[in-house]
Amino acid sequence: MGTGYARPLVSISLSSFHFSTTSMKTKSVLEFADVKAIAAAAEAEAIANGWAVTIAIVDEGGHLLWLQRLDGAPPISAHIGPAKAHTAALGRRESKVYEDIINGGRTAFLTAPDVQGLLEGGVPIMKDGFCLGAVGVSGVKSTEDAQIAKAGIAALGL
C-alpha cells in the first residue's frame, strides 16, 4: 500500500547550475502619480484641440490602469482606446506599426492571438529599453489620437 505521497520521478542537483554573481537589472514602473500625470496631459491636449476622446493607460502587461471618456466621445472609443494601449504595451511599439503591416498586405497578421486595436493611437511608454505600459486614445483621426497619447507620455519627461 502507498503512503499517499507521490515520489519525485526526477531529481535535480542545483550544484550543476551556474548562478551569476552579477546583480539583476532594475526597471522603472508606472506609479499612480505617473498615470495621473499622463492622463492630465493627454486630456489637456485633447481639450486644447476640441477633441472628444477616450484615454486609456495600461501597464506593461496591457492591464488597464486608467480609462477616461471625455464628454462627447463616441461610446465605442471606450473599447478601442484600451485595445490600442494593450497592443502597444504587449508589442512594445506603436499600434500604427501593426496597422501598416496589415495595410501593406499582410492580412494574416489579423489572426495573431490577443492582438486588438490594430489602429494608430496606441503608444508604448518606454524608459531605458523597457516598456512601462502604454497609452491608447480613440475618438478622432488616428494621427490625432497618437498626438494625444504622445502628449500624455511627454508629461513624464522621458
Q: How confident is the model at residue 39 (pLDDT cuts 50, 70, 90)?
A: very high
Confidence of residue 25 (pLDDT cuts 50, 70, 90): confident
- Is pLDDT larger for residue 158 or for residue 23? 158
Domain, as residue range, for 32: 28-154
Q: What is the pLDDT of residues 95-144, one digit of tens each?
A: 999 999 999 999 998 888 878 889 999 999 999 999 999 999 999 999 99
14 assigned to some structural domain? no
pLDDT tens, 141-157? 999 999 999 999 999 99
For residue 119, which phi and psi values (nearest 5 degrees)?
A: -130, 155
Cell, residue 77: 472609443
Whether residue 100 lies inside any domain: the answer is yes
Distinct helix (H) and strand (E) counts, the chain: 4, 4
pLDDT of the residue at 13: 57
Q: How many domains does the chain have?
A: 1
State the CATH number of the domain containing residue 78.
3.30.450.150
In a domain, 49, yes or no: yes
Domain presence at residue 5: no
C-alpha 30/C-alpha 28 separation (Å) is 7
Kindly state whether residue 59 falls inside one of the protein's structural domains: yes
pLDDT tens profile 69-100: 999 999 999 999 999 999 999 999 999 999 99
Look at residue 115 in the predicted model and tell me its pLDDT: 80
Q: How high is the mean pLDDT of the chain?
A: 90
Amino acid symbol at 139? G
Report CA-CA distances (Å) from 5 to 1, 8, 98, 148: 11, 10, 51, 59
- The answer as to whether 3 is a domain residue is no
Span of 20-24, 39-43, 151-155 with lowest mean pLDDT: 20-24
In a domain, 7, yes or no: no
Q: 3 pLDDT exceeds 70?
A: no
Query: DSSP secondary structure string, 44-110?
Result: HHHHHTT---EEEEEETT--EEEEEE-TT--TTHHHHHHHHHHHHHHHTS-THHHHHHHHTT-GGGG
CA nearest neighbour of 85 among 50, 39, 134: 134
